[in-house]
Chain A
C-alpha cells in the first residue's frame, strides 16, 4: 500500500498537466462555454499524445486513466476525456476514438457533449450499445451547467452495436467511476479557486479566510474533497468494481453539494458573476451529481451489490 504516486504515475501527471496548461484552463472553458463549443483541439491533443490509451496501456491501467481524468476536470477541460479514456476502455476494451456521450436509453434530458459526440454509449437495462452519431443526431440545449449539452429524441438511439450480456453493468460501474473522478477533480478546482479568493479578499481589515467560521467550513470541504479523491482513485485501482465505484460516486455526489454551497458562499457576490472563474467548476458539479440518479442512485447500487 502506498498513497503516493510512483515515478511513472508522477511523470504521467506532470506531462498531462503540461498539456492542459497549454490547452485547457478556466479562461478557455469560459470562452468555449459562451459559444457552447466542444474542445476538439484538446481532445485531439490528448489523443495524439496517447493519453486516451492509458487505461489499456502497457504498465498502465484504469488508475492512470483516472489520474488523467482528474487532472482534466481540475483544469476545466471541455472534452469527453472521462468517457473516452476511462469508461470506453472498461466497457469496450479500447478507448473511445472521438467525442463520446454517455446516455441512459430513453432519456430526453440534456446530456453532456451529446450534440458534439461522434458516438454514444447507451445504457439500456442490463445491456449497453455503442451507437454511432451522425451530425445532427442531438439538438443543442441551452444550459448554464458548464458543459455543452444536447438532447436526443425518444427512440433516436435504438440502433447500434449491442455489447452483449453483462455490458449494462460494466457501463454502469465505469460511468459511476468516471463520475467519482470527475467530481473529485472539479471539486478540487472549485475549492482551489475559492481558497485563493478568501486569502486575497479582505473585509474588516483582514482576509476573510482568517475568520474561524470560514476556516472551519472550508476545512470540512477540503476533507471531503480529499475523501472523494481517495475513494475515486481506490475504485479506479480496483478496475471500477461495482461497490467501490458506487461508493466513490455516492460520496463525491454528496460532497459536491456541500462544496458547491460553501465555495459560492465564501466567494460572495463576486462568485455569482460570470467574470469570476468559480462557475467553471461549480456549475459542472451540479450536472455531475445528478447523473445516474445522483447520490441516491449510487447508494442503491451499492446496497444492491453488497446485500442483494
Chain B
C-alpha cells in the first residue's frame, strides 16, 4: 500500500499548477454558462498541450498517459475553480475511440483534442431521469438518415455547445435499455431547438426539442440498439475525474478564508465545525483515490464510484450549509461568494445520478441486497 503519487506525477501536478496561474481570473467551476468564451480558451490552451487527450491511446493522437494523470489534471483544475472537465474529451472521445468508425474518429477526434469542438449530454428527458431506460425520444430510420423526434431536458451548457451526444430510442418502448442508440446531433441543425431552464444557482440548464431533426446514418455511434453497454463503459471513463476531491478542499478553504476575514476564527463553535468539515474532506479525498485505484487496476469501480459520488456531494453540501450558517444573513446577498458556493451545492446530490440511486448500487452490488429475496 502506498498513498503517495510518483515523482513524475508530482512533477506533472506542478506543471498543471503553474499553467493554471495564467487562468486565475477564470472562476467557472460554478456557473460556466456565464464564462463560456473564456472557458473555451482554457480548453484550447489545454488542448495545445495535449492535455485534453492525456489518456487517449497514442494511435488516436493521445499522450497515452495513465489515468492518474487525468485525475491530477482535473483535480487541480477543480481546485483552481477554473472549469469542470468537458464532456467531449472524456465520455465522447473515449467512446469514439472504442466504437467510432474511422470516418467518425477523423471528423471529431481532432477538433475535440484541440478544444475546438464541444458536446452537451443528451440523456435525460422530462419523463426519464433516474430511469433512463424509459427514454422516449425516437430516432426512425428512413433510408440514409435518421429522423429524430422527442424532448430532452436539464442539459448542462447546451446553449454554448456545438453538438449533442444524444440517447434515442431505435427499438420498441418495451425493449427499455436494449432499444436505445447513441447519436451525434448538431445543436444548430434544422428541427433542433434549445431553450433555457433558469436554475436556482443563477445559471441555467436547457431543454432541447427535436422535431423531425435529420442526421445521416453515420451520425450513429456504435451499433443500433447498442447504447446501453456503450454508456456503461463510458461512465467508467469518467469515474476518476468527475468528482475532483480538491474541489471540496477548496470549498472548505474558501469558508476558512471568509471566517478569517470576518474575524470569526476564534469562535470555538466555528472552529469545531471547521474541524468536522476537515475530516469530511479527508474522507472525500480518500474515496476519490479508491476509485482511481480500482480503475487503474482494471476494475470497473462501479461500487467505489457510487460511494464516492455520495460522499463527495454530501461533503459539498455540508460545507455549503456550514458556510451559510456561519456567515448568517450576510450570505443571503447573491454577490457574497459563500452564497454561490451554497446555491450550486443544492443539485450536487441529484445531477449525474442521485444519491438514492448511488446508494442503491452500493446496496445491491456491494452488500448483495437485491430484489425481494
Q: Footprint of B on A, CB under 8 Å? A: 107-111, 141-145, 149, 151, 202-205, 211, 213-214, 257, 261, 264-265, 268-269, 272-275, 279, 283, 286-287, 290-291, 293-294, 296
B9 CB-CB contact with A under 8 Å: no
* Distance in angstroms between the alpha carbons of A273 and B201 in the assembled complex: 9
Query: Which residues of A are found within 8 Å of B332, using beta-carbon distances?
Result: 109-110, 141, 143, 145, 149, 286-287, 290
* Distance in angstroms between the alpha carbons of A261 and B349 in the assembled complex: 10
Which of B321, B328, B329, B359 has the most C-beta atoms of chain A within 10 angstroms of its own C-beta? B329
B170 CB-CB contact with A under 8 Å: no
Which of A257, A273, A293 has the most C-beta atoms of chain B within 10 angstroms of its own C-beta? A273
Query: Which residues of B are found within 8 Å of A261, using beta-carbon distances?
Result: 317
Q: A144-B334, A290-B328 are in contact. Are A257 and B321 (CB under 8 A)?
A: yes
* Distance in angstroms between the alpha carbons of A214 and B355 in the assembled complex: 12
CB distance from B154 to the nearest CB of A (A): 4
Across the interface, do A269 and B333 meet the contact criterion of CB distance under 8 Å? no
CB distance from B173 to the nearest CB of A (A): 12
Q: A144-B343, A265-B355 are in contact. Are A272 and B324 (CB under 8 A)?
A: no
* Distance in angstroms between the alpha carbons of A110 and B317 in the assembled complex: 23
* Distance in angstroms between the alpha carbons of A213 and B356 in the assembled complex: 8
By DSSP majority rule, is chain B's interface helix, strand, loop, or mixed? mixed
* Distance in angstroms between the alpha carbons of A107 and B199 in the assembled complex: 29
Across the interface, do B269 and A296 meet the contact criterion of CB distance under 8 Å? yes
Task: Determine which of B127, B324, B351, B356 lies in contact with A214 in the assembled complex, contact meaning CB atoms within 8 Å.
Answer: B356
Query: Which residues of A are found within 8 Å of B331, using beta-carbon distances?
Result: 290
Task: Determine which of B134, B197, B198, B324 lies in contact with A286 in the assembled complex, contact meaning CB atoms within 8 Å.
Answer: B324
Q: Mark B279-298, 1 if CB is under 8 A from A, else 0.
A: 00000000000000000000
B149 CB-CB contact with A under 8 Å: no
* Distance in angstroms between the alpha carbons of A286 and B317 in the assembled complex: 14
B205 CB-CB contact with A under 8 Å: yes
Q: Mark B124-136, 1 if CB is under 8 A from A, else 0.
A: 1001111100100
Which of A111, A213, A264, A286 has the most C-beta atoms of chain B within 10 angstroms of its own C-beta? A286
Task: Determine which of A141, A202, A211, A290 lies in contact with B333 in the assembled complex, contact meaning CB atoms within 8 Å.
Answer: A141
Residue of B nearest to A111 (CB): B329
Q: Mark B307-335, 1 if CB is under 8 A from A, else 0.
A: 00000000001000100110011111111
CB distance from A250 to the nearest CB of B (A): 13
Interface residues of B in 178-211 (CB under 8 A from A): 197-202, 205
Across the interface, do B129 and A203 meet the contact criterion of CB distance under 8 Å? yes
Across the interface, do A142 and B328 meet the contact criterion of CB distance under 8 Å? no
Q: A203-B134, A287-B329 are in contact. Are A272 and B347 (CB under 8 A)?
A: yes
* Distance in angstroms between the alpha carbons of A231 and B355 in the assembled complex: 32
* Distance in angstroms between the alpha carbons of A143 and B330 in the assembled complex: 11
Task: Determine which of B131, B328, B354 lies in contact with A294 in the assembled complex, contact meaning CB atoms within 8 Å.
Answer: B328
Across the interface, do A144 and B200 meet the contact criterion of CB distance under 8 Å? yes
* Distance in angstroms between the alpha carbons of A265 and B325 in the assembled complex: 20
Task: Determine which of A272, A290, A291, A294 lies in contact with B200 in the assembled complex, contact meaning CB atoms within 8 Å.
Answer: A272
Across the interface, do B350 and A272 meet the contact criterion of CB distance under 8 Å? yes
12 contacts between A and B (CB under 8 A): A203-B128, A211-B356, A213-B359, A261-B317, A265-B349, A269-B347, A272-B199, A272-B205, A273-B200, A283-B200, A290-B325, A290-B328
Across the interface, do B129 and A272 meet the contact criterion of CB distance under 8 Å? no
* Distance in angstroms between the alpha carbons of A268 and B129 in the assembled complex: 8
* Distance in angstroms between the alpha carbons of A107 and B327 in the assembled complex: 13
| A-B Cβ contacts below 8 A, count | 103
* Distance in angstroms between the alpha carbons of A283 and B334 in the assembled complex: 13
B26 CB-CB contact with A under 8 Å: no
B346 CB-CB contact with A under 8 Å: yes
Q: Which 5 A-B pairs have the closest CB atoms?
A: A109-B329, A203-B131, A269-B154, A109-B330, A110-B332
Across the interface, do B200 and A274 meet the contact criterion of CB distance under 8 Å? yes
* Distance in angstroms between the alpha carbons of A111 and B317 in the assembled complex: 24
Task: Determine which of B130, B153, B201, B351 lies in contact with A203 in the assembled complex, contact meaning CB atoms within 8 Å.
Answer: B130
Known A-B contacts: A269-B351, A274-B199, A294-B328. Give 7 more (CB < 8 A). A109-B332, A111-B329, A268-B350, A272-B200, A272-B346, A286-B324, A290-B332
CB distance from A149 to the nearest CB of B (A): 6
Query: Which residues of A are found within 8 Å of B328, using beta-carbon distances?
Result: 109, 290, 293-294
Q: A109-B329, A290-B324 are in contact. Are A269 and B205 (CB under 8 A)?
A: yes
Query: Which residues of A are found within 8 Å of B351, using beta-carbon distances?
Result: 269
* Distance in angstroms between the alpha carbons of A255 and B355 in the assembled complex: 21
* Distance in angstroms between the alpha carbons of A213 and B205 in the assembled complex: 28
Query: Which residues of A are found within 8 Å of B205, using beta-carbon distances?
Result: 269, 272-273
Query: Which residues of B are found within 8 Å of A202, using beta-carbon distances?
Result: 127
* Distance in angstroms between the alpha carbons of A232 and B124 in the assembled complex: 42
Task: Determine which of A110, A211, A257, A273 lies in contact with B329 in the assembled complex, contact meaning CB atoms within 8 Å.
Answer: A110
Across the interface, do B346 and A264 meet the contact criterion of CB distance under 8 Å? yes
Across the interface, do B324 and A204 meet the contact criterion of CB distance under 8 Å? no
Residue of B nearest to A297 (CB): B328
Q: A213-B356, A268-B129, A269-B154 are in contact. Are A142 and B134 (CB under 8 A)?
A: no
Across the interface, do B198 and A274 meet the contact criterion of CB distance under 8 Å? yes
Across the interface, do B199 and A273 meet the contact criterion of CB distance under 8 Å? yes
Query: Which residues of A are found within 8 Å of B197, using beta-carbon distances?
Result: 273-275
* Distance in angstroms between the alpha carbons of A290 and B128 in the assembled complex: 36
CB distance from B208 to the nearest CB of A (A): 14
CB distance from B263 to the nearest CB of A (A): 14
Q: A109-B328, A275-B197, A283-B200 are in contact. Are A204 and B124 (CB under 8 A)?
A: no
Residue of A nearest to B363 (CB): A213
Across the interface, do A268 and B198 meet the contact criterion of CB distance under 8 Å? no
* Distance in angstroms between the alpha carbons of A124 and B317 in the assembled complex: 34
CB distance from A25 to the nearest CB of B (A): 20
Which of A143, A145, A269 has the most C-beta atoms of chain B within 10 angstroms of its own C-beta? A269
Query: Which residues of B are found within 8 Å of A273, using beta-carbon distances?
Result: 154, 197-200, 205
